[in-house]
Amino acid sequence: MNFFDSTVQGEKNFARLLAELESWRGTKFIPFVAKKGVGVDCVRFAAAVLQNVGAIEPFAWPAYVIEGGGQAMLEILLRHTDQVQGLARTWTHGQDNGPIMRGDLLLVSSGRHLHHFAIFTVYPVLWHCLRTDGVCQGNIEDPIVRDHLWAVYRAKG
């Protein structure tokens, strides 16, 4: 079961997700912060949104670097995200995977420099927090996302 499935409750959950995402729009990028309207980074943005709609329980992120960190940082983020109560990994880079669904949490990584979280809503829209634009909508077909998608997590129902 998916927290944002097509049942009546899933539809309500998805409507709450869209409203929550919109309420963060324009929040500036500030590393290691999660205050709506003040500042947030991409990791804490994704976590706060999913927590605020009740999809996952609150949790603490391990120490991580905003830029760089290479494969070791990717492994830390994967290992930690795999342990988040309420999330299940449904897609892994280089494997035969199922579809990406609304509400899915995307982990994008170039391996050496970029580690980024985004939340997919409806094709092709995703929401994320960028250094340049803060919290904003993006496109899942953006080559940085499409070519460097590393893992997808889904909130359990």
pLDDT tens, residue by residue, 50-62: 999 999 999 888 7
Nearest CA among 15, 56, 18, 7 for reference residue 137: 18
* pLDDT at residue 30 is higher than 90: yes
| pTM of structure | 0.95
Note the pLDDT tens digit of each residue in 86-125.
999 999 998 988 899 999 999 999 766 678 999 999 999 9
Instruction: Give me the architecture of the 8-155 domain, per CATH.
Output: Alpha-Beta Complex (3.90)
DSSP structure class, residue 51: H
Residue 87, pLDDT score? 96
Determine the 3-state secondary structure of 115 from DSSP: strand
Domain boundaries, the chain: 8-155
Average pLDDT, the chain: 92
- Please report how the helices 8-24 and 42-52 are oriented relative to each other, as an axis angle in degrees rounded to 10: 140
**Res. 78 pLDDT band, cuts 50 70 90:** very high
